[in-house]
Structure 1
């Protein structure tokens, strides 16, 4: 079996990123391990099950990386958060102060809305349409 386990997301600050992803977006902190060089191995996952895809929250180490914080995909939606209950997660995220860039849409492929994370990266919150 093969799968993408982690995607690195460059952030300004570990603790601020952990708070945003766990409190505002409802992710869970899987690991926060100090490393000998002063960095940390910080992993968050959106689901409650172990072994899904996760984000490695990587603190920017230099100017080139700092310049990519919040714009890792050139301004397009680069991350897709699937949900089994769009209304629940949309309401919870709005109440937590998440910035939405549009009103929710109901497309043939599902219910979707674009939001920004703490740094400005664009995400889709998406409940895929069920197929009959």
Structure 2
């Protein structure tokens, strides 16, 4: 048996601002942007080198969903962005105004720092040992 997680839905306030943030500041690739209705689009993005998994940007459609924007996990780190060069990406992200809420730290598993996306979701930037 073989299984894999393809995409995770990330609730956003606006498709275009989310696309701009992830593609311009994190270098994600916009894989698909298909209009499904006047209010819904199928928007898939992925980090460089990761075409089989990524995020499905899902615009909040009601007040319940809007209340989850930026806090889909109750304040815990939500997503983990692995890199092959921590310091390159950390410097690039800080130069682009990404807010790191926990500074870089050496852990037994690698180098890690916690940053916020444009909505406040927490991410780990990690380079494994």
* SS, match of residue 89 in structure 1: helix
Indicate the residue corresponding to 1:112 in structure 2: 112
Distance in 2 (alpha carbons) for counterparts of 1:37 and 1:117: 26
Cα offset, 1:49, TM superposition: 4.7
Distance in 1 (alpha carbons) for counterparts of 2:51 and 2:124: 22
Q: 1:99 and 2:99 equivalent?
A: yes
* SS, match of residue 2 in structure 1: coil
Indicate the residue corresponding to 1:31 in structure 2: 32
Q: CA RMSD in A?
A: 1.0
Indicate the residue corresponding to 1:3 in structure 2: 4
Q: Write the mapping of 1:41-80 to structure 2, written as runs, cut at 5 A.
A: 41-51=42-52, 53-80=53-80
Show structure 1 runs of 5+ residues with no match. Answer: none
Q: For residues 43-70 of structure 1, give each alpha carbon's deviation from its aligned partner in whole angstroms, at most 9, with x where no partner exists.
A: 100123532x110000000000000000
8 Å Cα contact 1:28-1:48 kept in structure 2: no
User: TM-score, length-normalised on structure 2?
Assistant: 0.95
Distance in 1 (alpha carbons) for counterparts of 2:15 and 2:50: 23
Q: For residues 89-110 of structure 1, give each alpha carbon's deviation from its aligned partner in whole angstroms, at most 9, with x where no partner exists.
A: 1111111110100210011110
Show structure 2 runs of 5+ residues with no match. Answer: none
Structure number with higher strand proportion: 2
Indicate the residue corresponding to 2:41 in structure 1: 40
Q: For residues 25-82 of structure 1, give each alpha carbon's deviation from its aligned partner in whole angstroms, at most 9, with x where no partner exists.
A: 111100000003531000100123532x110000000000000000000001011000
